[in-house]
Structure 1
Amino acid sequence: MRDRLLAAEKVKAIDWRDSALYLLDQRALPFEETWIAHHSAAEVAESIRSMVVRGAPAIGISAAYAVVLAARMRFAAGGDWVAALEEDFALLVGSRPTAVNLFWALNRMRERLERVKEHADPLAALEAEALAIHESDREANLTMAQLGVDLIRRHQGNPQALLTHCNTGALATGGFGTALGVVRGAWLEGMVERVYVDETRPWLQGSRLTAWELANEGIPVILNADAAAAHIMKTKGVTWVVVGADRITANGDIASKIGTYQLAVNAMHHGVRFMVVAASSSIDMSLASGEDITLEEREASELLELGGTPVGAQVEAFNPVFDVTPADLIDAIVTEKGIVERPDSAKMAQLMCRKRLH
């Protein structure tokens, strides 16, 4: 499957070249494909905040490259550039609060800087580390795709209907996607008849991004309103809901795009299996449960406007962009280290002791 996934690759969202970070502006998709060049950590932090780049793995990778850009600027300025770099770390930490991959990537870059040997080139070491983070995510995507496909094959026959939420594909990662990587792999294996995609309000990542990715690869995709998901599970033969995660806690609870929790509740009611696909960098063993996760809330305008045009009454709006799905609603968590079925604290701890499978 690896070679077939590689051959089918069409989309990427992150490009490191010519001493700059180029990000595909996901706010403009699917109507325009515009790349934005970034030359500083401040520019990358603003692109993370403003959703030029989104998706937990992609945010982490972008932040790693941002540290390289910041280090070059601080080094060129002279003085205690390592101490000055802390300002850039703090700026990036504050860009978005929920996705743990951001903090994981920044910690990894900080640790690499601390390990630079005397007389070695610290800028080269940081760039190599950022490139390694990017490539590692790509490889994890390939491994998770195979594991997720094997799980689907084990539990149901062919072909089948899947349902997904938000965007967890090439646009959200350094490779082929987490949940959408599994969908791609299952399609290549002839196991998918059609894919239902929640539109994912209010940023419409499902209708703008996921539907675009799948359609570009000829995968049969049907777009639906978020509120139609339970009806689809009841009437359209969906066998799996496949989603990603921005943070997974020690007991197997997940934080993911708002609306994921209600999908899990509906899936359990209708006997539909619920799969979470995320790299181990999304697992935060320092948090006991989902109750400990800081959930981001964004501006009311995202609900009250669409493209700057008012679409609702001018009232107070509640706009949480993530929710927590309890572990007891999850059939399986798929990572590059392996699969945890019916997750709990003991199984998650056991998973984190394993080596990566690829």
Structure 2
Amino acid sequence: MQKENIMDYDTVALDEEKNELVIIDQTKLPGKIEIIRLKEAKEIWDAIYLLKVRGAPAIGVAAAYGIYILAAESSADTYEAFYEEFKKKKEYLNSSRPTAVNLSWALNRMEQVVLDKKELPVAEILACLKEEAKEIQAEDIRVCKAIGEYGLSLVKPGDGILTHCNAGQLATSKYGTATAPIYLGEERGYHFRVFADETRPLLQGARLTAFELQSSGVDVTLICDNMSSSVMQKGWVNAVFVGCDRVAANGDTANKIGTSVVAAVADHYKVPVYICAPTSTIDMDTKTGADIKIEERPAEEVTEMWYKERMAPEGVKVYNPAFDVTDHELIAGIVTEYGVARAPYETSLKEIFKKKEEDIRRKKNGRQ
């Protein structure tokens, strides 16, 4: 019997016939590949909050399909009633996770469709919403491929690459962000040696990154989070690639807890740290990392999750932030679908967005 390969599944999909959101339940990986179907608002909210679907781009795609599915269930017969329902459902889904900017970005983009098409019948607005959600997913794939190409230009065949958390295919529609250079390099015979931090306390590096890279035939070695200094000290790491959930205008970056530790260690050993960031995760309205709201999660994730028996004393205080902020001074470059931004980021990120605006304008003119 042929063994299932996680890379053969879509991270997020829409079942158009049944009007359902279809995702891999990532809380069950790597032990079990379970596909779940979601239709109700609470189910979709829970899937995002409980990390059944996670990773900023995948959350954005799931939110876009999710709000379309919920909107399609509306019985409103006027635009005003339909929009009022839409706003409530949008705000509800947006409350599931506060740090990943892609969540609000995708939901705002879907709301804009409703506002732009208000002269159309509700049925036609729904058709436009479906197409917009599909386009958000298609863009995700194109963006990840472009990030992979730019990221690949920063390394050479045979290099050692360290990554933290999971910014792979399981966090996106395809390729991933931080893993995109790795996958493209594998296709082209670069034979990278990859070190994946386990990423406590939710173990996305151990359960997800190591799993998908190994499934793809990549030379991957799993290490505990506190081993990053050891492998860098030995000269085994030539670059660090990580994803992110939000980038501030000055280049400060919020990513999975522990990323700032990796960056500080890498700075000591003169190993460049690259943030792989779709422009949808760059928030130019947030001036610095100090302005990014950091999600705090339940203590049980630290004290007992993944253990057969509780591993910490009852009643002990627990601090469990989901993310930390890496100072822009520790970042060698921010890899986007429009190129690599370098310090000073206030300037280079504006240039990236100028390229994006020009690209959007060019495509729009091409359709006219």
Structure 2 length as normaliser, TM-score? 0.90
Matches within 5 A, 1:112-191: 112-116=113-117, 118-120=119-121, 121-153=124-156, 158-191=157-190
CA distance in structure 2 between the aligned counterparts of 1:313 and 1:225, rounded to whole angstroms: 23
Partners of 1:112 and 1:40 in 2: CA distance? 22
Give the deviation of 1:165 after TM superposition: 0.5
Query: Who is 1:54 aligned against?
Result: 54
Please state how far the C-alpha of 1:102 moved relative to its aligned partner: 0.5
Aligned partner of residue 181 in structure 2, secondary structure? helix
Q: C-alpha separation between the residues in 1 aligned to 2:281 and 2:12?
A: 19
Name which of structure 1's ranges 9-18 and 244-253 shifts more when overlaid on structure 2.
9-18
Which residue pairs with 1:205 in the alignment? 204
Say whether the 8 Å CA contact 1:160–1:194 is kept in structure 2.
Answer: yes
Percent identity over the alignment? Answer: 38
Q: Distance in 2 between matches of 1:333 and 1:254?
A: 9
Q: Which amino acid aligns with 1:108?
A: R
Tell me the CA shift for residue 77 of structure 1: 5.0
Judge conservation of contact 1:9–1:176 (CA < 8 Å) in 2.
no
How far residue 32 of structure 1 moved from its aligned partner, in angstroms, is 0.6
TM-superposed deviation, 1:9: 5.9
Deviations 1:188-247 (A, max 9, x none): 333344110000011100010000101111111100000000111111421001100100
Give runs of aligned pairs for residues 80-91 of structure 1, distance below 5 A: 80-91=81-92
Which residues of 2 match residues 253-272 of structure 1 at below 5 A? 253-272=252-271
SS of residue in 2 equivalent to 1:238: coil
Contact persistence 2:48–2:96 (CA under 8 A): yes
The equivalent of 2:11 in structure 1 is: 13
Partner of 1:45: 45
Q: Any stretches of 5+ residues in structure 2 without a counterpart?
A: 1-5, 364-368
- For 1:46 and 1:298, how far apart are their aligned partners in 2? 14
RMSD: 1.7
SS in 2 for 1:179: coil
How far did residue 117 of structure 1 move? 5.3
Q: Within 5 Å, give how 1:247-258 maps onto structure 2.
A: 247-258=246-257
Aligned partner of residue 355 in structure 2, secondary structure: coil
Amino acid at match of 1:101: N
Superposed displacement of residue 187, structure 1: 2.6
Deviation per residue, 1:235-294 (Å, 9 max, x gap): 142100110010011111110000000111111100111111111000000011101000
TM-score calculated relative to the size of structure 1: 0.93
Superposition map of 1:224-235 within 5 A = 224-235=223-234
Contact 1:331 1:343 in 2 (8 A): no
Deviations 1:296-346 (A, max 9, x none): 110000000124641222211110110001111111111111111234211
- Where structure 1 has 5 or more consecutive residues not aligned to the other structure, the ranges are 1-7
1:27 aligns with 2:22: no
Alpha-carbon separation, structure 2, partners of 1:320 and 1:117:
41
State how far apart, in whole Å, the 1-side matches of 2:306 and 2:266 are: 32
Q: What is the Cα deviation at residue 78 of structure 1? A: 4.4
